[in-house]
Structures are given as C-alpha cells and as structure tokens.
C-alpha cells in the first residue's frame, strides 16, 4: 500500500493538506485532532519578519485521538469497599 502522506511532503494550501489528511484517516481508520495551532495573525505579534498572507497557520500540530494527551482520573476520593 502506498503512503498517502509521507515525511517531507509539502502542500500549496491548507485545504490541500486537509484533504490528504482526511484521506489518510479514512485509509488507516485513525482520527486526528488539531491539538495546538498558531495563526499567522497571532504570530505576527511576536515576529518581526514578514509572513506570507496566503497561509492560515504559522504553526500547527495534529495528534491521534487516542494518544497525545495524558488521561488522568478525575476521581477525588478512594473507592469505597463493598
């Protein structure tokens, strides 16, 4: 099976990337979510160099829906004995 997305791939637009990611999710039966993202507008506040107006995100990270974050119990007390 040929890989839909490979390391080093580049995309002209965010929509092109998103369609390849959707195809990858369907092919591998996995789901990803946008965990962290910084828009170009927000990045301009911290950077002095010019940024391309044609891009939507300056930085973006996708994580697998079953991984990428710590699952901690929200239970406050110890379980009661029966």
Tokens found for residue 24: 């990858």
With bands split at pLDDT 50, 70 and 90, how would you rate the model's confidence at 22? Answer: very high
pTM for this model (two decimals): 0.65
Of residues 23 and 54, more confidence is placed in 23
Q: For residue range 25-72, list pLDDT tens digits in order.
A: 999 888 998 888 999 889 989 998 888 877 888 888 988 887 545 555
């Amino acid at each position: 099976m040929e890989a839909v997305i490979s390391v080093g791939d580049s995309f002209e637009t965010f929509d092109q990337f998103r369609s390849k990611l959707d195809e990858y999710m369907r092919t591998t039966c996995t789901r990803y979510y946008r965990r962290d993202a910084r828009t170009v507008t927000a990045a301009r506040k911290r950077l002095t160099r010019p940024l391309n107006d044609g891009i939507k995100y300056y930085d973006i990270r996708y994580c697998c829906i079953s991984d990428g974050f710590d699952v901690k119990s929200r239970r406050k007390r110890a379980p009661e004995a029966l």
